[in-house]
A and B are shown apart, each in its own frame.
Chain A
Amino acid sequence: MSENVARSDTRDTELGRPLVGAALEDTWATPSGFWGALSTVDHKIIGRRYILTAFVFLAMGGVLAMLIRLQLARPEARLLSPDRYNQIFTMHGANMMFLFAVPVMEAMAVYLVPLMVGTRNIAFPRLNAFSYWIYLAGGLLLWIAFALDMGPDVGWFAYVPLSGPQYAAGKRADIWAQMITFTELSALAVAVELVVTIFKQRAPGMTLDRIPLFVWSMLVTAFLVIMAMPAIMVASTSLILDRLVGTHFFNPAEGGDVLLWQHLFWFFGHPEVYIIFLPAVGMVSTLISTFARRPVFGYLALVMALIATGILSFGLWVHHMFVTGLPRLGESFFTASSMAIGIPAGVQIFCWIATLWDGKPVYKTPLLFIIGFIVTFVIGGLTGVMVASVPFDTQVHDTYFVVAHFHYVLVGGAVFPLIGAIYYWFPKITGRMMSERIGRWVFWLIFIGFNLTFFPMHILGLQGMPRRIYTYQPDMPWSGLNLFASASAVILAAGFLLFFVDAFRSARYGPPSGPNPWDAPTLEWATSSPPPSYNFARIPVVFGASPLWEQNETLAVADGLRVDRRELVVTSLVAAKPQAREASPRNSIWPLLAAISTSVMLIWSIFSPWAVVWGSIPIAIALIGWFWPKGVPEDEA
């Protein structure tokens, strides 16, 4: 770096357009080869990796789901032993929540948010690299343990005492708890990066009321992560302590409390649902505007609904505990708050329908998924209103009714928009279009397969079928609907399979897309597809909420940044007025080394408390290397 400082600084104003591009590429590009891949801090490369990894976990979790459906297709099936089945449903839940749903939403944000706010890299890019490696290590830990028949078997919620030292022998529950530590660590890291990126790196002129709704949703999500995740880290750490060194946080015989676990878990676990759902909401608002050919109706109402949902989501956790015998009056309060969250959900649905009504819808695959989302998510929302009622819930809690409900919310409410979003942003990420013809097949297979698989589960639940049972007896009246659900799951699986095939094929052979194939209004489409390493040759300046529609001829840009070192524009929080030029970190191998040493310590600590002592030494070394002062001015006002 010292030689850079010695050189006179070069500004983009001094160079012509082609030269600026070349100079920026020089400064920002990730070197090719193995070393470059390991040390990169480019949010696009890391985001792509993150998305790809999350979809691999989706596919693996889907295989587990198919095994579950195979086992339940007929009564008293002996395909899976109860031990294997319990591992499989635990893995399915833990994998889908912690390794797919949350990471994939954050991954989309890691890729898209810097582009959508018009900056050159995410804030704290090395932390971003670290977070990916930690996430990968957590995922590998869980799946390797499963392959070794050491997979957790206590449910994704791991209720004590079942997961405690007395009833969960071996290391299975510890692996679950430590996997939580990994994924929460990575989620927290990304959340912090997103908050800072959104608050301080927006393009000049992107005032609060011009932030794209997906970015708003990620901002609210990031705050939910920051506030909810510590609860689960406290819980899982206490569990490990109970198991490893004999503390008694959750042991009633020694003054501990088993319900404390449930309070901590759901204080995280309920916001978790919105951590998955709110990004999807942001995707819907973004996509609906592009395909209705109108700015979304009720921007302010939608932002308020996002914030209201985020706040309310912390006041609902007790509705997961309605049958634990808490005081009735308190429970009724949580009924009211759980139902109240239906109001912001309603606001959003009505604003989207109004946008479609006002617009001229273009029926491309992404819009099909958005329409499918509205149809299924409203069912999931309404069954959510049902389970929010204490008396109603006493009959359906822990039954297949709830299984149906949350699959409607999570698959219908989050995965449908996500698949639509992949179809939408695929050309931005790869420069190629996915197939519109296959896309329709994918949509109809997934939509029909999903509803046929999960709708009957509502009825099964009301007919008394509990969750998490590895089989049921032939004299129960459940076999018909179970067989039907299992057969329908094949349609659903075929849809996902086709989606993966289309994505792989299109990444290589899809028709080139050009920079803005959908004529979309937001900044990520203001650069080439895929974007160059520096995102924008000149930082865009924004005058409205739909910049590419408002300034469709030419986009105003800011200049004066150095091209010989990585520099970003830092803007003010509310008005996005330029404040400073800030240096952005260069590639580094230290985040990977820090992630490896952290992983070693965390995994080792499953087996011995001394790991925390000895394992922290390499972590300290890695962090010292990471943060070693570079002797370069951080920013210039």
Chain B
Amino acid sequence: MTLLQRLAPLMMLPLCSCNGWQSALDPHGESAISLKALILLIVTVCSVVWMLVMIALILALRRSHPPRPRPLQRDPRTARRMGATVIAAVAATVAVISGLTVASFFTTRALAVAGRDDLTIKVSGLQWWWNVEYFGATPDQNFTTANEIHIPVGRTVRFQLEGDDVIHSFWVPSLAGKQDLIPGRPNELSVRAERAGVYRGQCAEFCGLQHAHMAFFVIAENESDFDKWANAQRRPAAQPTDADAVAGQQAFLSKPCAACHAIRGTKATGTSGPDLTHVGSRKYIGAGLFETTRGSLAAWIADPQTLKPGNNMPLVPLSQQDLLSISAYLASLK
């Protein structure tokens, strides 16, 4: 393999930034942007170092060797020259490593000071979904949602991260680096989105059977859209109007659903599953599994264990009619 071929993929790295919503190379948050700059710096320096080592290796192998009778002989002048070269190379290594350490240290400091927060959001990781709590000025302005986090663009948001069962890790690569959610040890992460958009995040710490399907979305929007959304989320669930949804509400409340899920404004107050008060307004269900439609809701309720094997939602036996009306009801919870 030639040098060029080996290098080609490395050189392509900066070009691969066109891959969308969950990529460290496609940053839209303050931290992620400075992290990408650091990543590019370190990768470039290291690529140069690798090339220099390879050139040295090739030169060493290609050297036309003067014949020497016995392996042991080493001309003292050559030995001195080799020693000096090795020492110079080691000195260069020390310089490069020190430089990268300093660069890394300053990037860390820049990240750490991004913390004059006005909005605090508590995120709890559970097997295998995310509980999201917003805190308002007064307790009655607090509200809970799941798997979808809205934030205002251009404002620093402080995430309080807590692990409720096992360790999870909160990671939205396009906005910031990751931070673990550890039972018994609350963590914090400051994030500021610089551009409006939908950013996907995913649990990054192995957390059991459905670690692969533990995604969430951060939706960064302008201040007024965010306020509108937050006000809507604060309200209890709308009373269903069409007959299908009314039947669905009754079925939901009379079946085991309400034991695990809460719908504010109804008697459903379970907390072991995601809050469903405005589930119809969320883009995805099942922690990023499907886009929210009446059909996907029905499919999920009908057979959660096939769609996400091992997750904690049991298969609840429902009649065809109940299934359809419950999905209609949930889809109506905008």
Contacts and interface: CB of A to CB of B under 8 A. Distances in A.
A469 B90 contact: no
B178 A382 contact: no
A476 B78 CA distance: 56
B104 A389 contact: yes
Contact of A375 (B54, B108, B178): B54
A30 B42 CA distance: 57
Contacts, number: 258
B94 interface: yes
B310 interface: yes
Given A346-B93, A385-B46, A466-B202, A354 B210 contact: no
A297 B82 contact: yes
A466 B203 contact: yes
Interface stretch (B13-21, B223-231, B232-240, B253-261): B13-21
B315 interface: no
A398 B72 contact: no
Interface stretch (A50-58, A251-259, A414-422, A496-504): A251-259
Interface in B190-209: 200, 202-209
A248 B172 CA distance: 33
Contacts of B169: 323, 398
A379 interface: yes
Contact of A357 (B59, B68, B70): B59
Contacts of B293: none
Contacts of B101: 335-336, 339, 389
A295 B68 CA distance: 13
A371 B211 contact: no
Nearest to A552: B70
A462 B16 contact: yes
Contact of B57 (A374, A397, A470): A374
Interface stretch (A78-86, A275-283, A432-440, A580-588): A78-86
B292 interface: no
A92 B72 CA distance: 44
Interface stretch (A358-366, A507-515, A525-533, A563-571): A358-366
A166 B208 CA distance: 12
Contacts of A623: none
Contact of B105 (A294, A335, A521): A335
A394 B23 contact: no
B53 A349 contact: yes
A442 interface: no
Contacts of B35: 391-392, 394-395
A550 B182 contact: no
Contacts of B86: 297-298, 301, 347, 350-351, 354
Contacts of A398: 169, 178, 204-206
B65 interface: yes
B94 to A, nearest CB: 6
A549 B46 contact: no
Interface string B90-127: 10011001001101110111011000000000000001
Contacts of A392: 35, 38-39, 42, 104
B19 A470 contact: no
Contacts of A340: 97
A37 interface: no
Classify chain B: how many residues form its interface, as a range: 35 or more
B300 interface: no
Interface in B5-54: 6, 9, 12-13, 16, 19-20, 22-25, 32, 34-35, 38-39, 42-43, 46, 49-50, 53-54
Contact of B38 (A295, A375, A389, A447): A389
B4 interface: no
Contacts of A259: 182, 185
B93 A258 contact: no
Nearest to A289: B71
Contacts of B211: 466, 468-470
A394 B178 contact: yes
A339 B200 CA distance: 32
A456 interface: yes
Nearest to B83: A298
Interface stretch (A125-133, A194-202, A309-317, A325-333): A325-333
A382 B46 contact: yes
Given A259-B185, A331-B108, A398-B169, A294 B71 contact: yes
A159 interface: yes
A464 B173 contact: yes
A463 B180 contact: no
B173 A385 contact: no
Contact of A353 (B56, B182, B204, B206): B56
Nearest to A546: B72
Nearest to B102: A336
Interface in B56-75: 56-57, 59-61, 63, 65, 68, 70-72, 74
Given A301-B86, A346-B93, A325 B182 contact: yes
A511 to B, nearest CB: 24
**Which residue, B20, B50, B60, B207, has most C-beta atoms of chain A within 10 A?**
B60
A82 B212 contact: yes
A357 B207 CA distance: 50
Contacts of A253: 184
Contact of B208 (A162, A448, A462): A162
Nearest to A398: B204
A160 to B, nearest CB: 8
Interface string A376-413: 00110011011011111111111100000000000000
A162 B166 contact: yes
A81 B309 contact: yes
A463 B183 contact: no
A420 to B, nearest CB: 16
Contact of B72 (A295, A451, A456, A467): A295
A118 interface: no
B212 A469 contact: yes
B9 A459 contact: yes
Contact of A294 (B49, B74, B289): B74
B61 A356 contact: yes
Contacts of B89: 346, 350
A236 to B, nearest CB: 18
Contacts of B210: 82
Given A335-B101, A360-B65, A167 B166 contact: yes
Contact of B177 (A394, A458, A468, A471): A394
B97 A323 contact: no
B134 interface: no
Minimum-distance CB pairs A-B, first 5: A394-B177, A252-B184, A469-B212, A357-B60, A389-B104
Interface of B: 1, 6, 9, 12-13, 16, 19-20, 22-25, 32, 34-35, 38-39, 42-43, 46, 49-50, 53-54, 56-57, 59-61, 63, 65, 68, 70-72, 74, 78-79, 82-83, 85-86, 89-90, 93-94, 97, 100-101, 103-105, 107-109, 111-112, 127, 165-167, 169, 171, 173, 176-180, 182-185, 187-188, 200, 202-213, 215, 288-289, 309-310
Given A361-B61, A382-B50, 16 more contacts: A161-B166, A167-B208, A323-B177, A335-B105, A339-B101, A342-B93, A343-B97, A353-B56, A382-B46, A389-B42, A391-B38, A391-B111, A395-B173, A397-B178, A398-B205, A468-B211
Interface of A: 81-83, 86, 155, 159, 161-162, 166-167, 252-253, 257-259, 293-295, 297-298, 301, 323-325, 328, 331-332, 335-336, 339-340, 342-343, 346-347, 349-351, 353-354, 356-361, 371, 374-375, 378-379, 382-383, 385-386, 388-399, 447-448, 451, 455-456, 458-459, 462-464, 466-473, 476-477, 521, 546, 549-550
26 contacts: A82-B210, A83-B209, A161-B183, A258-B183, A259-B182, A324-B185, A342-B97, A346-B90, A347-B90, A354-B85, A356-B57, A360-B68, A374-B57, A375-B54, A378-B50, A378-B53, A385-B100, A391-B104, A391-B107, A392-B104, A395-B178, A398-B178, A462-B13, A469-B212, A473-B215, A549-B71
